[in-house]
Amino acid sequence: MIPAPLAASRPASSQRSERGAREYRAGLAAEACIAQDYERRGLTVARRRWRGKAGEIDLIARDGDGLVFIEVKKSRSFARAAERLGPRQMARLCGAAEEFMAGEPMGLLTEMRFDVALVDGQGQFRIIENAFGQF
């Protein structure tokens, strides 16, 4: 932790950069925790941070012949994490998932679902399976 007088003397852009780096690392840790939970439950994590033209998908897991597209949201509370997923982001996730499924043997006929993993400030998590039907 940086003492307050030193933090105040640094440019705001430097402080934002450090905060952004910290949040990035926290996001990676949250994704790793969620991936481990899916693997513990018998799914195979096929991709992490897969990027297509439509956007990025945090985790893609295989459940038998089906796919699970997982969006991980981290914030101080579960409610704040859930608020960070809006309709535009859901549309981008759907577009990216469609791109990914184009490379699957059954293409768009592949069974799939979207899960949302909410991670709070203490590292506890809740997974909402088939979440897009619940938002």
Strand partners, 35: none
Could you tell me the CA-to-CA distances from 69 to 11, 74, 75, 98, 100 in Å, in that order? 39, 17, 20, 11, 10
Segments forming the whole domain that contains residue 95: 4-133
The alpha carbon torsion through 61, 133, 57, 64 (nearest 10 deg) reads: 10
Report pTM.
0.83
- Count of domains in the chain? 1
Q: Please tell me which residue, 19 or 66, carries the higher pLDDT value.
A: 66
Distance, CA of 4 to CA of 42 (rounded, Å):
47
What CATH code is carried by the domain that includes residue 98? 3.40.1350.10
Integer Rg of the chain from CA: 17
Three-class DSSP category at 102: coil
pLDDT digits over 66-123, tens only?
Answer: 999 999 999 999 999 999 899 999 999 999 999 999 999 999 999 999 999 999 999 9
Q: What confidence score (pLDDT) does residue 1 get? A: 47
Q: Which two three-digit tokens encode residue 18?
A: 């450090």
